[in-house]
Amino acid sequence: MGSKRPAARKSALAGGHYADPANLAKVSAPPSTEPAPVAPAEPGRTVEEPKQAKPVEKKAAAPSPRSAPAGTENIAIWFRPATLKRAQAAYQVDEKASPEQTPDSFRQWLSDAARELADMSSERRIAAVRDADAEQPGRGSSRMFHIDSATLEAIEQARADDERQLTIKRSRGEFIVLAARVATARARQRYVERTGAQDLPEPEPLRLGRPPKK
């Protein structure tokens, strides 16, 4: 007996999606590049143009609270708390006694004091330092102040003069603290002569600055 041939296996694709010639044509045909048809507009109805997205306007970044105003620079100054407190009291007694002749803020008072000391000759500076308010005890800390750029230039010249003529070296911060002590001693003297008090009063909480003088 001759052996029977096994039945032919049916292809997995036979009768399926790919077996239909129409489907095969769809698969093998390249994608159409023609634009999709647009439905005609109804009579009396306007076709609206697609709205363009409005450009987003970028707001200017607000200035940082720590940024220095024009014409000034941020300077870190190492102050002992009691020394700074006495300088603030000196500014306040001057402001109350002569508001028109006193700067609008403690920062400006400090900057002016540094400029006055820087504009002296080295010999006069030494004499002024001898009469400065005593440095107070206590642990100091660094504080940021806006100091006028012109004052800082004058300080650099004064530091160079002192180093050349007197071999005295000071940082900018040390120079400004020294100027604050000189100005404090002078304000204290005026206050004592005016009121008969023995020393400066306790300072009040500092304001940001009174309105500019007209």
- What tens digit of pLDDT does each residue of 97-112 get? 999 999 999 999 999 9
Residues lower than pLDDT 50 in the chain: 10-19, 23-28, 60-63, 65, 208-212, 214
| pLDDT of amino acid 166 | 92
CA dist., res. 16 & res. 23, Å (int): 10
Q: How distant, in Å, are the alpha carbons of 83, 128, 196, 207 from that of 204?
A: 15, 27, 20, 9
**Domains in the chain: how many in total?**
1
| pLDDT of amino acid 191 | 97
In a domain, 28, yes or no: no
Give me 175's structure tokens: 């120079």
In a domain, 35, yes or no: no
| pLDDT of amino acid 13 | 45
| pLDDT of amino acid 140 | 85
What is the span of the domain harbouring residue 95?
Answer: 72-195
In a domain, 94, yes or no: yes
In a domain, 64, yes or no: no
In a domain, 172, yes or no: yes
In a domain, 102, yes or no: yes
In a domain, 95, yes or no: yes
In a domain, 27, yes or no: no
| pLDDT of amino acid 125 | 96
